[in-house]
Structure 1
Amino acid sequence: MSLPPAAAEALHTFQNAAGWEQRARLLMQFGDRLPPLDDADKNDANRVHGCESQVWLLGSLNDGHWQFSASSDARMIRGLVALLLLRVNGLSAAELQQVDLPDWFNELGLSRQLSPSRSNGLNAVLQRMNELAG
């Protein structure tokens, strides 16, 4: 499955990063660029359960392609979620089911920074996306 253009661009940026510190900075920058959600959208119905941090997720279907928006109260998680959104936005429900989360973060060079709780949280976000798309 080919990557959406924004995801391919992010992948290139991370693969050219010189070491973990630069990747961590990039991660924060991606999180900071995430468009903020309205306070009204930060409600329990949009909250992803299974994350230690608070994460809110919204999804909409446009011409068979999903567009997600999300936010988190934790800066590191916001960055990881931003990179997940780059990977999944514009996919069909069937393509969304094929996304390999560990592989994506491994390609970005971020997998060893994913603690079990962060990994579980991101899996919960992806699972919620699939529920919305289902």
Structure 2
Amino acid sequence: MAQAAFEDVVEDFEFLEDWEDRYRMVIEMGKAMDPLPEALRVPATKVDGCASQVWLHPRIEGGHFHFDGDSDAMIVRGLIAVLHRLYDGLPVAEVPAVDAKAELARLGLEENLSAQRSNGLRAMIQRIRLLAAEAA
């Protein structure tokens, strides 16, 4: 059920030999994202439960879920980019049906992130699901 953009990430990860290379790729994905405008870095868009500062700003266009995000930590910014490829552009009603844990397991993220980063990733996923549910 993953988006084509996420499948591309899965394919790229398959070619990388070790976690350090994958870690670098996640960071590069984050660097490639446009920064979230300061005006959107407000308490309403801040994600609680993350050790780093994280903001997610949703948009619903034509019944499809879109979001922009940012963080003050490079690896977290990269994780936002991964989640963007997983969720962005899905019909709003399909967002809650995505098994993010299973999809991200295909990348080996959970076992290679610190407990704090894993908790933050789960908080971001919960926030995305909540935002989509509110929009539905």
* TM-score (norm. length: structure 2): 0.91
User: Per-residue CA shift, 1:87-121, capped at 9, x if unaligned?
Assistant: 00111233211222222221012221122221221
Instruction: Give the aligned partner of residue 78 of structure 2.
Output: 79
Instruction: Give the aligned partner of residue 11 of structure 1.
Output: 10
When structure 1 is superposed on structure 2, of 97-106 and 5-14 the one drifting more is 97-106
SS, match of residue 119 in structure 2: helix
Over aligned residues, Cα RMSD in angstroms? Answer: 1.3
CA contact (8 A) 1:15 1:109 kept: no
Instruction: Give the aligned partner of residue 20 of structure 1.
Output: 19
Superposition pairs of residues 66-105 of structure 1, within 5 angstroms: 66-105=65-104
Residue type of the partner of 1:114? L
Superposition pairs of residues 34-73 of structure 1, within 5 angstroms: 34-73=33-72
Cα distance in 1, alignment partners of residues 80 and 103 from structure 2: 12
Q: Identity of counterpart residues, as a percentage?
A: 39
Residue type of the partner of 1:82? A
Number of corresponding residues: 133
Deviation at 1:17, TM superposition (A): 0.7
When structure 1 is superposed on structure 2, of 17-26 and 90-99 the one drifting more is 90-99
CA contact (8 A) 1:101 1:123 kept: no
Structure 2 runs not aligned, ≥5 long: none
Structure 1 runs not aligned, ≥5 long: none
SS, match of residue 24 in structure 2: helix
Instruction: Give the aligned partner of residue 130 of structure 2.
Output: 131
* TM-score (norm. length: structure 1): 0.92
SS, match of residue 69 in structure 1: strand
Cα distance in 2, alignment partners of residues 86 and 97 from structure 1: 15
Residue type of the partner of 1:33? A
Could you list the structure 1 runs, at least 4 aligned residues long, displaced by more than 6 angstroms after superposition: none
